Amino acid sequence: MSQPISKIPITVIVGPTAVGKTAFSIAFAKLIQAEIVSADSRYFYRGMNIGTAKPSVEEMQGIPHHLIDVAEPDQTWSLALFQQKAHAAILDIHQRGKNVLVVGGTGQYIRAVLEGWSPPELTPDLPMRKALEAWAEAIGPEDLHRKLSCIDPAAAAKIDYQNVRRTIRAFEVIFKSGELFSAQRKQVDSPYQPLVIGLTRPRAELYERIDRRIDQMFENGFVNEVRGLLDRGFSPELPSMSAIGYREVSAYLRQEISLEEAVLQIRRGTRNYVRRQANWFKGSDPQIHWYDLSDQGREAKSCRFSLKPGDSK
């Protein structure tokens, strides 16, 4: 009789944007002698720092971080590529005798690791994607999602209609492979034994932190960061530039909208993103151990380490 394969223990920290994952995870990594594997799709790209609230070298406080600044903005990191690189990083950290922290707010990437997804490794078809984007703009996100429901209801049920990029990707995979998108997301037994920690705050407090973060982004030179990316030839239509803020500031720089309108759109988009994140990380999920980081949160007060007051990451 064969012996069961031992699984690698990992700790996973999840939660919405601006809840405090950066400060919490770095303090926790120090406590348990861990290295951090980022599961935030916005952190992959070099030169996109301010608008993504990417932790600086100073903020990392000497804790090794993996899968940050691993690609140029015009390089596409698919879910399949992320999984490959994340698995390699986790195995490397474990084999060196260190603990593993997987940290992020990109629910799809977190679930792929936790649940052993095996996504299709199709390369992006940019001409097809542009045609699908034009179609989406013409008919709107709800109609686009409704058409996906007709073709692949199982896939549509797992995609928020507001996530136009994901809906387009589903169509792209279906049209390119000739198979349903839902049929291609196979699952294998996960090689990990996870402890999942969810961070939360009252929604009103979270929105206040988001507003402070956005104000700080512009004070820190976000407009110049976007201008620099455009000057280097990176199109605002790139998938990497779909991160909230970059296309809005690009529109401001092209004098299509005012700076005030750009800020308003970024605030609105970030709030919508928080609501989408809640669909991935539900309070009722028995796998997630939730900790309230607000001043009123009993769990936060009982932690053996402290967070910097006012830290918005």
For residue 291, give Cα distances in angstroms to 14, 28, 106, 295: 10, 13, 19, 12
pLDDT at 21 over 70: yes
Is 16 within any annotated ligand binding site?
Answer: yes
Has residue 145 got a pLDDT over 80? yes
- What letter represents residue 268's amino acid? R
pLDDT band at 185; cut points 50, 70, 90: low
Would you identify the CATH topology of the domain 126-184?
Answer: Histone, subunit A (1.10.20)
Residue 128 CA to residue 142 CA, distance in Å, equals 20
The domain ranges of the chain are: 8-119+188-220+281-302, 126-184
Is 17 among the annotated ligand-binding positions?
yes
Answer with the residue of higher pLDDT: 25 or 123: 25
| pLDDT of 2 over the 50 cut | no
Pairing of strands 65-66, 99-104: unpaired
The one-letter code for the residue type at 199 is L
Q: Any residues with CB less than 8 A from the CB of 176 and at least 6 apart, and which?
A: 122, 125, 128
Q: Give the predicted TM-score (pTM) of the model.
A: 0.80
Q: State yes or no: pLDDT of 82 exceeds 50.
A: yes
Q: Is 125 exposed, middle or buried (0-12, 13-18, 19+ CB in 10 A)?
A: middle
pLDDT digits (tens, 9 = 90+) for 301-310: 444 444 433 3
The mean per-residue pLDDT over the stretch 261-283 comes to 91
Q: Give the pLDDT band of residue 278 (cuts 50, 70, 90).
A: confident
Instruction: Using the structure block, give the residue that is written with the tokens 């600044």.
Output: 69
Determine whether the annotation assigns residue 157 to a binding site. no
Q: How confident is the model over 23-62, as pLDDT tens digits?
A: 999 999 999 999 999 999 999 999 999 999 999 999 999 9
Q: What is the mean pLDDT of the chain?
A: 87
What six digits make up the tokens of 267? 């605030």
Q: Which two tokens stand for residue 258?
A: 């005012």
pLDDT score of 306: 41
**What is the average pLDDT across 285-313?**
62
Beta bridge partners of 292: 200
Q: Is 62 annotated as a binding residue?
A: no
Cβ pair 307, 23 in contact under 8 A? yes
Q: What is the CATH number of domain 8-119+188-220+281-302?
A: 3.40.50.300
Q: Are 241 and 229 in contact (CB under 8 A)?
A: yes
* DSSP reduced 3-state for 1: coil
Q: Does residue 295 register a pLDDT over 60?
A: yes
Residue 31, both tokens: 């406590």
Cβ atoms of 54 and 39 closer than 8 Å: no
Q: Give 184's pLDDT tier (boundaries 50, 70, 90).
A: low
Annotated binding residue at 297?
Answer: no
Q: Which residues contact 126 (CB under 8 A, 6 or more apart)?
A: none
The answer to whether 15 is annotated as binding is yes
Which segments of 152-303 does DSSP mark as H helices, in order? 153-157, 164-177, 181-184, 203-219, 222-231, 246-253, 259-280, 298-302
The pLDDT tens digits of the residues spanning 191-214 come to 999 999 999 999 999 999 999 999
9 is in an annotated binding site: no
Q: Is 47 left (phi over 0), alpha (psi -120 to 50) or beta?
A: left
* Annotated binding-site residue? 11: no
